[in-house]
C-alpha cells in the first residue's frame, strides 16, 4: 500500500488520540502470565508483535513464526528453552533470520538449554528442546541487545534457584532491562541490579495480580514530532500514560523541550503543547537508552531545518532494517545533508526540502511513522505503509483524526 500524505488544512492542532499499550510491556507481561496464570493484563498492545507473542506462547510443539518481532523472538527463546517437554522451531521474517541471537543462545546453553541452529550459526531459525535449566549463574555481553538480558530475566523467577547475571561490557538500552525488573517487582519477585550484576530470586507462585500496561511512548514520539512541526499553540492529548513510566522513551518529555514542545499530565492524559520556537539551531543527544526514537528525532530536526548529532546508535544496524543506512538514504532523497557511521548520525542545517518524494520503509514500521510528520511541511509518499502494524496498526487512521490527508495511491 502506497500512501500520499499532506498537511492538515489548519496547522493549529487540537486533538485527542488513544494509543494502546506499550508493546515492550505487553510482551513481557504476556510471558510472565504464561509462567504465572494468576496474572491478568489490562491495556494490552494491539500490535502485530503482541499478537504473534500471544500465538507463540500458546503453541506446544512445532514451528513458531514470529515475523518481524524481535522481542517475541528473544523472549520466546528463553521461554521455550526452560519449558520441559516442549519442542519448537522458532523462526521469523527474512530480516529476523539476519538479527543475531547467539549471545542469548550461548547463555541459555550455559544454563543447560538444548538449542541448535536451523541454518546459520548465531541466527534464527533455532530449534529448541525445552528442559529444566539446572544452573543459576551466567555472564553475557551486554552491549549488543538488552533483549537477551530481559529474556533471561523473565524466566529467572521460574528457575529453581533464580538467576544471577553478570553483564559484560557497556550495557545498552538500560531502561528496557529496568522495565523487566520493575515488572518482576510488580508481581512480587525480588531482584537487584547493582553495578554489572543482576540477581533474581525464585518464585513458585504469584498473584492474583493485575498488570496495567501503560500506553506506548515510542508511538507517542510521532505526535511529539507533529507538534514540534506545528504552529505555536497546537495541542495534542494522548492517553493513557503515567508520570512514573517504565518506558525509557518517556525521555521524550525532556528532549522535545529543545524543539519548543512542552508536556503536562492531566490525570492519565499526556498533553503535548507547542509553546515556542526551538531553543537552538542544533541538538546533540545520546540515544543509547532510547534507540527507538532516533528516527523520529532525526526527521523532526530535518523538518525544523535544524542540525543534530545523535550518538549511542550502535544497536540500530540490527533492528528491523539497518536504520542508519535507511535514514541516510531517505533523508538524502529529501535534500538533507546527512552522514552516518555505525553508531552515530549527523545532520547539517537544512535549507531545502524536496516535495512529493516517495519514502521507502524497508519493512520497518518506524521508517513509515517517523517520516509521516514531515507532511506538516511538504506533501510526500510513503511506500509499503502497512508496515506500521508491527507496533501501531491504527497509525494512519489516527493521522486522519488530526485531519492529515492520507490517500491510497
The answer to whether 24 contacts ligand S3P (rule: CB under 6 A) is yes
Residues 304-333 that bind ligand PEP (CB under 6 A): 319-320
Among ligand PEP, ligand S3P, none, partner that 69 touches (CB below 5 to 8 angstroms by kind):
ligand PEP
Degrees (nearest 5) of the Cα angle 144, 154, 134? 95
For residue 21, the 8-state DSSP code is: B
Based on the residue annotation, tell me whether 344 is a catalytic residue of this protein: no
Among ligand PEP, ligand S3P, none, partner that 176 touches (CB below 5 to 8 angstroms by kind):
ligand S3P
> Which helix or strand (DSSP H or E) is residue 284 part of?
strand 282-286
The answer to whether 173 contacts ligand S3P (rule: CB under 6 A) is yes
What are the grid coordinates assigned to 44, written together? 494490552
Interface map 304-343 toward ligand S3P (x if CB under 6 A)? -----------x----------------------------
CA–CA dist 84, 379 (Å, integer):
55
3-state secondary structure 169-231: CCCCCHHHHHHHHHHHHHCCCCEEEECCEEEECCCCCCCCEEEECCECHHHHHHHHHHHHCCC
The answer to whether 21 contacts ligand PEP (rule: CB under 6 A) is no
- Smaller CB distance to ligand PEP: residue 320 or 398? 320
- Smaller CB distance to ligand S3P: residue 91 or 391? 391
CA–CA dist 231, 226 (Å, integer):
10
Minimum distance from residue 403 beta carbon to ligand PEP (Å): 27
- Smaller CB distance to ligand PEP: residue 136 or 151? 151
Residues 344-373 that bind ligand PEP (CB under 6 A): 366
The answer to whether 29 contacts ligand S3P (rule: CB under 6 A) is no
**Is the torsion defined by CA of 351, 352, 358, 362 positive or negative?**
negative
Q: Per CB under 6 A, which region of 146-154, 200-208, 327-335, 374-382 contacts ligand S3P?
A: 146-154
- Nearest residue to ligand PEP by CB is 70
Q: Of 230, 184, 241, whose CA–CA distance to 209 is shortest?
A: 184
Among ligand S3P, ligand PEP, none, partner that 391 touches (CB below 5 to 8 angstroms by kind):
ligand PEP
Minimum distance from residue 288 beta carbon to ligand PEP (Å): 14
- Choosing from 49, 216, 249, 292, which is the catalytic residue? 292
The answer to whether 147 contacts ligand S3P (rule: CB under 6 A) is yes
Which parts are annotated binding residues for phosphoenolpyruvate?
23, 70, 99, 147, 323, 366, 390
CA–CA dist 92, 123 (Å, integer):
11
3-state SS, residue 280: coil
**Bridge partner residues of 41 (DSSP):** 211
Rg (CA), the chain: 21
Helices within 82-164 (DSSP H only):
102-111, 146-155
Binding ligand S3P (rule: CB under 6 A), the pick from 26, 91, 136, 150 is 150
Among ligand PEP, ligand S3P, none, partner that 323 touches (CB below 5 to 8 angstroms by kind):
none
* Full strand arrangement of the beta sheet holding 261-266: 14-18, 235-239, 269-274, 261-266
Residues 38-97 that bind ligand PEP (CB under 6 A): 68-71
Contacts by 77-80, CB closer than 8 A, 24 or more apart: 77/101, 77/104, 77/105, 77/108, 77/115, 77/126, 77/128, 77/151, 78/104, 78/108, 78/151, 78/152, 78/154, 78/155, 79/31, 79/34, 79/35, 79/151, 79/154, 79/155, 80/128, 80/130
Interface map 281-300 toward ligand S3P (x if CB under 6 A)? ----------xx--------
Residues 132-161 that bind ligand PEP (CB under 6 A): none
The answer to whether 249 contacts ligand PEP (rule: CB under 6 A) is no
Binding ligand PEP (rule: CB under 6 A), the pick from 292, 322, 344, 394 is 292
Query: Can the peptide bond before residue 125 be classed as cis, meaning omega within 30 degrees of 0?
Result: yes
Please tell me the count of residues contacting ligand S3P according to CB under 6 A: 12
The answer to whether 33 contacts ligand S3P (rule: CB under 6 A) is no
Helices within 293-401 (DSSP H only):
294-304, 323-333, 365-371, 395-401
- Smaller CB distance to ligand S3P: residue 292 or 398? 292
Q: Of 361, 372, 381, whose CA–CA distance to 402 is shortest?
A: 372
CA–CA dist 56, 134 (Å, integer):
24
Residues 373-402 that bind ligand PEP (CB under 6 A): 391
- Smaller CB distance to ligand PEP: residue 7 or 290? 290
Q: Which residues are catalytic?
A: 292
Q: Which residues bind ligand S3P (CB under 6 A)?
A: 24, 71, 145-147, 150, 172-173, 176, 291-292, 315
Amino acid at each position: 500500500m502506497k500512501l500520499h500524505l499532506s498537511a492538515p488544512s489548519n496547522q493549529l492542532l487540537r486533538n485527542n488520540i488513544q494509543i494502546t499499550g506499550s508493546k515492550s510491556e505487553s510482551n513481557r507481561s504476556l510471558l510472565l502470565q504464561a509462567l504465572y496464570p494468576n496474572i491478568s493484563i489490562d491495556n494490552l498492545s494491539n500490535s502485530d508483535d503482541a499478537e504473534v507473542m500471544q500465538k507463540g506462547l500458546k503453541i506446544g510443539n512445532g514451528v513458531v513464526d514470529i515475523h518481524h518481532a524481535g522481542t517475541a523472538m528473544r523472549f520466546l527463546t528463553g521461554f521455550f528453552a526452560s519449558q520441559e517437554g516442549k519442542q519448537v522451531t522458532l523462526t521469523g521474517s527474512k530480516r529476523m533470520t539476519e538479527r543475531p541471537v547467539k549471545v542469548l543462545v550461548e547463555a541459555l546453553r550455559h544454563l543447560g538449554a538444548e538449542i541448535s541452529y536451523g541454518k546459520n550459526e548465531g541466527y534464527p531459525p533455532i530449534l529448541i528442546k525445552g528442559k529444566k535449566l539446572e544452573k543459576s549463574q551466567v555472564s553475557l555481553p551486554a552491549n549488543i541487545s538488552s533483549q537477551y538480558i530481559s529474556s533471561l530475566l523473565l524466566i529467572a523467577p521460574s528457575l529453581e534457584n533464580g538467576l544471577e547475571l553478570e553483564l559484560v561490557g557497556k550495557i545498552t538500552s538500560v531502561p528496557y532491562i529496568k522495565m523487566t525488573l520493575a515488572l518482576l517487582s510488580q508481581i512480587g519477585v525480588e531482584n537487584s541490579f547493582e553495578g554489572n550484576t543482576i540477581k533474581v530470586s525464585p518464585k513458585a507462585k504469584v498473584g492474583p495480580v493485575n498488570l496495567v500496561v501503560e500506553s506506548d511512548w515510542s508511538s507517542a514520539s510521532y505526535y511529539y514530532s507533529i507538534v514540534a512541526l506545528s504552529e505555536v499553540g497546537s495541542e495534542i492529548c494522548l492517553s493513557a500514560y503515567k508520570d512514573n513510566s517504565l518506558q525509557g522513551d518517556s525521555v521524550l518529555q525532556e528532549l522535545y523541550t529543545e524543539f519548543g514542545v512542552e508536556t503536562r499530565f492531566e490525570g492519565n492524559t499526556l498533553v503535548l503543547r507547542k509553546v515556542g520556537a526551538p531553543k537552538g539551531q542544533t541538538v546533540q543527544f545520546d540515544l543509547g537508552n532510547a534507540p527507538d526514537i532516533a528516527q523520529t528525532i532525526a526527521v523532526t530536526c530535518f523538518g525544523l531545518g535544524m542540525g543534530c548529532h545523535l550518538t549511542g546508535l550502535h544497536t540500530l544496524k540490527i533492528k528491523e532494517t539497518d536504520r542508519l543506512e535507511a535514514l541516510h538514504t531517505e533523508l538524502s532523497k529529501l535534500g538533507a545533508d546527512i552522514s552516518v557511521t555505525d553508531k552515530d548520525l549527523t545532520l547539517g542545517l537544512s535549507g531545502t526540502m524536496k516535495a512529493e518524494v516517495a519514502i521507502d520503509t524497508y519493512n520497518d514500521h518506524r521508517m513509515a511513522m517517523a517520516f509521516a510528520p514531515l507532511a506538516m511541511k511538504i506533501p510526500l509518499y510513503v511506500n509499503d505503509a502497512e508496515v506500521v502494524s508491527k507496533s501501531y496498526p491504527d497509525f494512519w487512521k489516527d493521522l486522519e483524526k488530526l485531519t492529515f490527508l492520507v490517500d491510497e495511491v
